Amino acid sequence: MTDMSLSWLPRENTLKDHQLFDNQRFSDSAPGVIYEARPVLDANGAAVDGLFSAWIWLNNPTQYNSYTTDMVKAIIAGFQKASSDRTIVAVVFTAVGDKAFCTGGNTVEYASYYAKRPNEYGEYMDLFNAMVDGILNCKKPVICRVNGMRVGGGQEIGMACDITVSSDLAIYGQAGPKHGSAPDGGSTDFLPWFLSMEDALYNCVSCETWSAYKMKMKGLITKAVPVLKKDGKFIRNPQVKTADYLEDGEIVYGEPVAAADVAKAKELIASATVDFELLDKEVNGLIWKFSNLFPHCLMKSIDGIRGKKKFFWDQMKLPNRHWLAANMNFEAYLGFNAFSTKKITGKDLIDFIKYRQMMAEGAPMDDALTSAVLGKPKA
């Protein structure tokens, strides 16, 4: 009888380690990035043996969880670690505190070090691009758990994620054209996939912030969840209209409440506590949903969707890298220094009209122009 066994084939059965980084990039101290493996919870809230979700926490709450250069390196390490860990079902990208998920790059570092050092900022942008690539290439579903404002570069790394579940106190938007840059770290690539072209353009350049409910209605995020708790009950963000969709023919869902109601809304918020119970319940529900799908079919499906975002991201990330570096000698130098010196001058923006007037006169980009458009130290 023919022996059908393949036991004669040489086989190596010791599991390989595919991780590129050890844990030295992670830290519980701020500013830093925390990496945490949490057990997957079943529908009843019980831990599942041997399966985990990776929680990557931005930890710089006193600076609205803006990322420093070292934090960018840690985020890259975190996503590679989660991607190559066989026990990880999904990644949760979130941040410490209840005020901000992320407001982008650390403007103090930008102003004090990278401004007027375009080569250095180009090196930094190589790391930034690797961070976005790390999210888009992660072989696990990535959930952005938005615990507060997601603005600027924070919006960009958030949109690189697969699904967003948000605190309803969060706001979303860009700030680049106001502070000396363009949102070319992903927003100019990703926003037209999430929003209409016109909404994408307006949101990109207006520097307005839009509520979580407005972004849910427009398709940018999957869910906006109440996080305010008063007298044991969750209440929706009182600063935003959610009870009505139309007023006088205009869509008002997700828009700010009337000016006369702002003070009352703030009083209500001050009297309530922030509780992320419902937010975490939504996140854990998604992780459990992912756990009950074929993992390779799941990731093929996700990568098929990601590919549409990556198409434009990959086209533009390198030319954008060079422009952003060069701009550190130009408008970024003005904008980031204005923002960074607010405590000294009382102003976080340059004098745009004076700047345009000097540009119209052909003024050179020198110290005289800088002095003319920046605020002055307070007496």
What residue type is 142 in one-letter code? Answer: V
What's the pTM value of the predicted model, to 2 decimals?
0.94
User: CA nearest 179: which of 378, 374, 379?
Assistant: 374
pLDDT at 1: 60
> pLDDT for 232-291, tens place per residue?
999 999 999 999 999 999 999 999 999 999 999 999 999 999 999 999 999 999 999 999
> pLDDT for 4-21, tens place per residue?
888 889 999 999 999 999
Calpha distance 334→328 (Å, rounded):
9
Calpha distance 100→94 (Å, rounded):
9
> pLDDT for 165-181, tens place per residue?
999 999 999 998 999 99
> pLDDT for 183-203, tens place per residue?
999 999 999 999 999 999 999
Q: Is the dihedral of CA 216, 88, 65, 338 positive or negative?
A: negative
Calpha distance 292→312 (Å, rounded):
32
Average pLDDT, stretch 20-39? Answer: 95
β-sheet with 228-230: strand ranges across: 233-235, 228-230, 273-274
> pLDDT for 292-317, tens place per residue?
999 999 999 999 999 999 999 999 99
pLDDT at 63: 96
Residue 331 has pLDDT above 70, yes or no: yes
- pLDDT averaged over the chain? 96
Calpha distance 284→104 (Å, rounded):
26
Calpha distance 221→215 (Å, rounded):
6
Calpha distance 333→340 (Å, rounded):
11
**Percentage of the chain surpassing pLDDT 70?**
99
Contact 233, 276 (CB under 8 A): no
